[in-house]
A = this chain, B = another copy of it.
Amino acid sequence: MPKVVVDVMPKPEILDPQGKAVLGALPRLGFDGVTDVRQGKRFELEVAGEVTDEVLARVHEMAATLLSNPVIENFTVHVDEAVADTPDVLS
């Protein structure tokens, strides 16, 4: 079953304390070379039936109204075939 992925990230001009905390922790753990970290959210939506353009338009609406705060966050919507191949139950 295909999954639709919604990625929600803080806008570039918005402070991201979680990302800054990760950025500060990396050198203390011995990881160098990372100059910036932004932390956002990832939603994987399983939809009934085929992923049509209409379904994607509805997911866009969901992302704008429920999954993100458009004042401070940007979102992207895409179909992830790789996710679709992941077994839902590990045996």
Contact = CB atoms under 8 A, between A and B. Distances in A.
B26 A34 contact: no
Sort chain A's interface into a size bin: 35 or more
Nearest to A10: B44
Q: How many copies does the complex hold?
A: 2
B55 A33 contact: yes
A89 B41 contact: no
A42 B39 contact: yes
Contacts of A12: 86-90
B7 A42 contact: yes
A48 B32 CA distance: 9
Contacts of A48: 33-35
Given A33-B49, A36-B45, A40-B44, 6 more contacts: A12-B86, A19-B43, A22-B66, A29-B66, A39-B41, A39-B43
